Amino acid sequence: MKKVRRKIGKYEVGRTIGEGTFAKVKFARNTETGESVAIKVMAKTTILQHRMVEQIKREISIMKIVRHPNIVRLHEVLASQTKIYIILEFVMGGELYDKIVQQGKLSINESRRYFQQLIDAVDHCHTKGVYHRDLKPENLLLDAYGNLKVSDFGLSALTKQGVDLLHTTCGTPNYVAPEVLSDRGYDGAAADVWSCGVILYVLMAGYLPFHEADLPTLYRRITAAEFVCPYWFSDDQKSFIQKILDPNPKTRVKIEEIRKDPWFRKNYFPVKLGEDEQVNLDDVQAVFDDIEDRYVAERAEITEGGPLIMNAFEMIALSQGLNLSPLFDRHQDYVKRQTRFVSCKPAKVIISSIEAVAESMGLKVHSRNYKVRLEGVSANKVGQFAVVLEVFEVAPSLFMVNVRKAAGDIFDYHKFYKDLCAKLGKIIWRPAGTMPDSNLLKQMTL
């Protein structure tokens, strides 16, 4: 079997760290500076087939415009003959969503700090005429220092001259503002503020203010702003949340008023911005115009052997710092969309074991180059469920299996991962002193 490690221009490309319907996100390293980056890879055929050219151009342009310490930074955009590569800041702390699911409600001081950083980032977007429209904990990342970074501007809107209201209904139902659900147009700034309020509630409560099994009931509750604050909210917290989750966008508190609130101002240190950088969007246009001299070299470095070897840069990034214990103690990362376990068995035995277990679980199996894709029907029988497992060599005779959700519900994924690990118990290596995995999943509140 041959090992392949790709290079895209000056970037050495490693494992897949995220996967969606239209794109994959790869971990990579800038070979000139040693900096870790994330590369969002999109096939040009997919972009054209789904008529996404303008949407992708808008997303890239917006990310170039909104440069801020609490927003994921876009470094550059590249293109090969067949693909578009969006080079992004690599944020190693994971999603805020994972932290909430693992810990439940956060402390007041921690909740306030994340909310302050969120408001700073959102306000900066609004001053640039950009409205995010899909603010939620899954789109808020944490860096190595615990600072919040807003990501995923795929549904963002950039205001047009002479147009005051937005009309596209978009976003995630539990976080969307009441006025967005109507067809009468809405103010993007007020809608983002509402989403920030839902996020703050989730941070402090550990669960959603609006959560129903069916959409009509959910929308009715959102439209009427029917929510109850938990008993541990102070009067100040309740008052603050109620000002933000005001169903009337005209009387809803604005960001400048949020910043003046005594609860918000406690331990508030506004981020200091440098001078506005000159933003040039010519490279974005060039990439989509297929200008030949904008193509980047894409090549594969092939060597004989088994699975890809995970280098030190990837291991450090994967373990979220220099503490490598999360790689080997699965009890620490059970809540994430991307989980992993370690085995001392040969790579071929690991793959064949995974295939056998998957077939016993009624899943379709597709294997290639030490990577396995498993497909099935989601628990609610409505959509598809898919998981990708990839084997990496981290040391001689020591392999790491990276498991990530490719499609379906996050809760289906957690259940699958628990069942899979139970059935693969004989090949999973556990260092002395680590927790047994009989209770890998805590009760989830989201």
C-alpha to C-alpha distance for 365 and 374, rounded to whole angstroms: 5
Q: Classify burial at 363, counting beta carbons within 10 Å of its beta carbon; exposed 0-12, middle 13-18, buried 19 or more.
A: buried
Instruction: Name the CATH superfamily, with its identifier, for domain 2-90+283-303.
Output: Phosphorylase Kinase; domain 1 (3.30.200.20)
- pLDDT confidence bin for 320, thresholds 50/70/90: very low
Chain centre to alpha carbon of residue 57: 20
- pLDDT confidence bin for 345, thresholds 50/70/90: confident
- pLDDT confidence bin for 194, thresholds 50/70/90: very high
C-alpha to C-alpha distance for 376 and 386, rounded to whole angstroms: 6
Among 68, 170, 131, 93, CA closest to 333: 93
Predicted pLDDT of residue 147: 94
Predicted pLDDT of residue 244: 96
> For the residues 68-92, what does the mean pLDDT come to?
90
The pLDDT of residue 21 is above 60: yes
The CA angle 87-93-97, to the nearest 5 degrees, is: 105
Predicted pLDDT of residue 237: 94
Half-sphere exposure of 122 (CA within 13 A, CB side): 30
Domain regions of the chain by residue span:
2-90+283-303, 96-265, 307-426
Predicted pLDDT of residue 441: 30
Predicted pLDDT of residue 289: 65
User: CB-based contacts of 62: which residues, under 8 Å, 6+ apart?
Assistant: 130, 153, 156, 158
Predicted pLDDT of residue 4: 56
Cβ atoms of 41 and 347 within 8 Å: the answer is no
Predicted pLDDT of residue 280: 66
C-alpha to C-alpha distance for 129 and 202, rounded to whole angstroms: 27
C-alpha to C-alpha distance for 186 and 164, rounded to whole angstroms: 8
Taking the alpha carbons at both ends of the chain, their separation in whole angstroms is 43
Cβ atoms of 32 and 52 within 8 Å: the answer is no
Predicted pLDDT of residue 339: 76
Among 343, 359, 344, 362, CA closest to 403: 343
- pLDDT confidence bin for 61, thresholds 50/70/90: confident
- In the annotated binding site for ATP, the residues are 40
Cβ atoms of 6 and 13 within 8 Å: the answer is yes
Q: Which residues pair with 2 in a beta bridge?
A: 304
Question: DSSP state, 395?
Answer: E
**pLDDT 10s digits, 207-260:** 999 988 788 888 999 999 999 999 999 999 999 999 999 999 999 999 999 999
The pLDDT of residue 48 is above 90: no
Strand ranges inside 263-323, DSSP E: 298-304, 308-309
Round the average pLDDT of the chain to a whole number and report it.
Answer: 80
**pLDDT 10s digits, 267-314:** 998 887 766 666 666 667 666 665 334 556 565 554 455 676 665 555
Percent of the chain with pLDDT over 90: 33
- In the annotated binding site, the residues are 40
User: Residues 381-413, buried b or exposed e (16+ Cβ, 10 A)?
Assistant: eeeebbbbbbbbbbeeeebbbbbbbbbbebebb
Predicted pLDDT of residue 79: 85
Half-sphere exposure of 273 (CA within 13 A, CB side): 13
Among 409, 397, 421, CA closest to 340: 421
Among 378, 406, 337, CA closest to 139: 337
Predicted pLDDT of residue 115: 97
Question: DSSP state, 239?
Answer: H
Catalytic residues: 134
Q: Which helix (H) or strand (E) holds 246?
A: none
Query: Residue 177 to residues 42, 133, 263: CA-CA distances in angstroms?
Result: 31, 9, 23
In this predicted model, which residue has the larger pLDDT, 288 or 375?
375
- Fold exhibited by the domain 96-265: Transferase(Phosphotransferase); domain 1 (1.10.510)
C-alpha to C-alpha distance for 79 and 77, rounded to whole angstroms: 7
Give alpha helix (H) positions in 8-83. Answer: 44-49, 53-65
Q: Which amino acid is at 226?
A: E
**pLDDT 10s digits, 101-145:** 888 899 999 999 999 999 999 999 999 999 998 999 989 999 988
> For the residues 67-84, what does the mean pLDDT come to?
89
Architecture of the CATH domain 307-426: 2-Layer Sandwich (3.30)
Predicted pLDDT of residue 130: 92
Query: 158 in the Ramachandran plot: left (φ > 0), alpha (ψ -120 to 50) or beta?
Result: beta
The pLDDT of residue 397 is above 70: yes
- Lowest mean pLDDT segment, chosen from 233-242, 319-328, 358-367, 379-388: 319-328
Under DSSP, is residue 43 helix (H, G, I), strand (E, B) or coil? strand
The whole model's pTM is what? 0.69
Among 221, 223, 219, CA closest to 247: 223
User: CB-based contacts of 405: which residues, under 8 Å, 6+ apart?
Assistant: 19, 337, 338, 386, 387, 413
Chain centre to alpha carbon of residue 333: 15
Predicted pLDDT of residue 295: 54
Among 332, 337, 305, 326, CA closest to 412: 337
C-alpha to C-alpha distance for 384 and 377, rounded to whole angstroms: 5
Q: Which helix (H) or strand (E) holds 357?
A: helix 347-360
DSSP-derived pairing of the beta strands 384-395 and 308-309: parallel
Q: Which amino acid is at 150?
A: V
Predicted pLDDT of residue 82: 84
